[in-house]
Amino acid sequence: MLKPVTGSVLGFDFGLKRLGVAMGTLDLGLAHPLETINSEINTIRFARIAELISAWQPVMLIVGMPHHNDGEPHPFAPTCLRFANRLHGRFGLPVLWVDERYSSVAASSSLNEQGVRGRKQKPMLDQVAAQHILQQYFDESESAHELT
């Protein structure tokens, strides 16, 4: 796949209860938290994703893939891969994945630095984790993987 070099990109931190979404542009290489989709229902999730895709017109999508500290895929990885494949199938956009090993820890640390601690982090933790996932792609795009 030929990776786009300009345009907007959406990044996702997939969870069973919440889905964090971030946005950035290839031109600037900066990711920003966008929103958290608080639903376990796929039809609601994908309807909201469709709205975001319509609004932001991304040229590709990035999904965080969980791994253990030793680099081995986490048992949750196949579920994330299924989500990534659904994104590609529904929207026809290139979908890449990056190792999200420390995204939630980094997100919590970032929020702590901003003075958001404890339970107050919950509504924004997933979208900040998505921001870290997308920023990782911008910083290390050669480490991104295509869906197989």
83: CATH: 3.30.420.140
Backbone angles phi, psi at 27, to 5 degrees: -60, -45
Q: What is the total count of domains within the chain?
A: 1
pTM: 0.83
Q: Considering only residues 92 and 108, tell me which one the structure prediction assigns the higher pLDDT.
A: 92
Q: Is residue 3 part of a domain?
A: no
Domain membership flag for residue 2: no
Per-residue pLDDT at 6 exceeds 80: yes
Sheet containing 60-65: give its strands across.
Answer: 30-37, 19-25, 8-14, 60-65, 95-99, 145-146
The answer to whether residue 46 sits within a structural domain is: yes
Taking only the tens place, the pLDDT of each residue in 26-62 is 999 999 999 999 999 999 999 999 999 999 999 999 9
Determine, yes or no, domain membership for 1.
no
Dihedral of CA 117/118/119/121: which sign? positive
Q: What tokens does 125 get? A: 């933790």
pLDDT score of 1: 60
Residue with tokens 């990035």: 62
Task: Give 118's DSSP letter.
Answer: G
